[in-house]
């Protein structure tokens, strides 16, 4: 039987966290507990995505999903801004004895066609999309093989467009979400409409199911979005310290480190607005980081890898939502079940 959100025993979705945090073990554990686990295909090759999918299949027979980054239109040349930003970051790289790549304007579609081909010929129950909307061909092809499609939206206008393109449900992402906002235009300044208000506004305009995301971490948070009409809640940050998380130890430790007392939205690490723990790198470079994605991401990738390896949280992208202090070290299945128990209690009160 094709997947439907109301088939979930526990209406919780583990957010697809690109860059390594989402693992087959994490996705499988959440799905086994009764929620919906997700793999993140962003920044992976098509073969890497296939290998993670196959591993997840070995670990669970329950439905899980794969998230794709939708490639945007060709961006205007940012060569001058990128060259200046590279020059600014050279001392940061020198601290690790590494070279920074020379930026180019070469298009990067994150192997969209190859990944789509894999998912059409070897389908998974759920496919979601971030940073834009799938093409009509992708919608038709994935529907033909039985996949349930979810579009990520951050505004009412994006939600209306997503419903029109034929996806089956929407992930409505509020401003307190950790990591990248799913804005369809990389240059857009993300709106700050609170999640419950955004959810209500989207419900007035679309008729497909809504999954609420962004800054959720307690049973009361989840109960609130379910009462507001969401069919499920999506959470990512609360799983970052789970036993099955692939987040670096540096990242995990920073979530409980009193040095990091707030989150901010920055383009400093990737060129796209993303929420993370405020650190020295953000303070030094946020104001000058170009709005150039994924060029900035590629420029800083080696620097971020070196920071993670050396335990330097001040130069690492510490993606986190507003409820980051609730992330705890425990099996993901226990985290999922505990959240649902607390949600049920909140709903009953």
- Rounded to the nearest 5°, which phi and psi values hold at 265? -95, 130
Give yes or no for a contact between 28 and 57, defined as CB atoms under 8 angstroms apart. no
User: Could you check whether the bond before residue 294 is cis, i.e. omega within 30 degrees of 0?
Assistant: yes
Q: Is the pLDDT of residue 331 over 70?
A: yes
Mean pLDDT value across the chain: 96
The whole-number average pLDDT for the span 198-217 is 98
Task: Output the six-digit token pair for 65.
Answer: 């999903």
pLDDT tens, position by position, 105-120: 777 899 999 999 999 9
1 vs 93, more confident: 93
Task: Output the six-digit token pair for 49.
Answer: 């995505």
Give yes or no for a contact between 93 and 100, defined as CB atoms under 8 angstroms apart. yes
Separation between Cα atoms, residue 136 and residue 198, nearest integer Å: 26
Give yes or no for a contact between 222 and 12, defined as CB atoms under 8 angstroms apart. yes
The whole-number average pLDDT for the span 141-163 is 98
Separation between Cα atoms, residue 126 and residue 208, nearest integer Å: 15
Separation between Cα atoms, residue 332 and residue 323, nearest integer Å: 17
The whole-number average pLDDT for the span 322-349 is 97
Task: Report the candidate in 160, 234, 149, 238 with the shortest Cα–Cα distance to residue 195.
Answer: 234
Percentage above 90 pLDDT, the chain: 92
> Quick one: pLDDT at residue 75?
67
Separation between Cα atoms, residue 342 and residue 2, nearest integer Å: 29
The whole-number average pLDDT for the span 182-192 is 89
Q: Is the pLDDT of residue 74 over 70?
A: no
Q: Residue 125 — pLDDT band, cuts 50, 70, 90? A: very high
Q: Is the pLDDT of residue 78 over 90?
A: no
The whole-number average pLDDT for the span 210-225 is 98
> Quick one: pLDDT at residue 1?
64
């Amino acid at each position: 039987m094709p997947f439907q959100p109301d088939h979930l025993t526990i209406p919780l979705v583990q957010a697809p966290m690109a860059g390594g945090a989402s693992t087959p073990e994490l996705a499988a554990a959440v799905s086994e507990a009764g929620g919906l686990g997700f793999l993140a295909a962003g920044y992976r090759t098509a073969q890497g995505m296939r290998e993670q999918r196959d591993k997840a299949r070995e670990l669970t027979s329950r439905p899980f999903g794969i998230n794709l980054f939708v490639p945007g239109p060709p961006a205007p040349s940012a060569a001058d801004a990128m060259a200046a930003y590279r020059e600014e970051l050279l001392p940061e790289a020198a601290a690790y004895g590494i070279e920074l790549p020379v930026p180019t304007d070469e298009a990067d579609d994150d192997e969209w066609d190859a990944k789509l081909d894999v998912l059409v010929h070897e389908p998974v129950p759920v496919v979601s999309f971030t940073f834009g909307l799938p093409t009509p061909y992708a919608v038709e092809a994935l529907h033909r093989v039985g996949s349930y499609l979810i579009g990520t939206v951050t505004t009412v206008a994006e939600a209306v467009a997503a419903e029109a393109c034929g996806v089956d449900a929407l992930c409505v992402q509020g401003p307190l979400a950790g990591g990248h906002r799913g804005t369809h235009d990389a240059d857009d300044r993300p709106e700050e409409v609170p999640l419950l208000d955004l959810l209500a506004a989207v419900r007035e305009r679309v008729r497909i199911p809504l999954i609420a995301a962004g800054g959720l971490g307690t049973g009361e948070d989840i109960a609130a979005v379910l009462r507001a009409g969401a069919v499920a809640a999506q959470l990512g940050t609360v799983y970052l310290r789970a036993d099955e998380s692939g987040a670096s130890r540096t990242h995990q430790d920073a979530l409980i480190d009193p040095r990091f007392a707030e989150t901010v939205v920055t383009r400093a690490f990737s060129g796209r607005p993303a929420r993370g723990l405020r650190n020295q790198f953000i303070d030094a470079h946020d104001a000058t980081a170009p709005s150039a994605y994924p060029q900035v991401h590629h420029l800083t990738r080696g620097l971020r890898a070196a920071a993670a390896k050396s335990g330097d949280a001040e130069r690492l992208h510490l993606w986190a939502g507003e409820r980051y202090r609730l992330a705890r070290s425990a099996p993901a299945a226990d985290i999922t079940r505990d959240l649902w128990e607390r949600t049920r209690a909140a709903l009953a009160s």
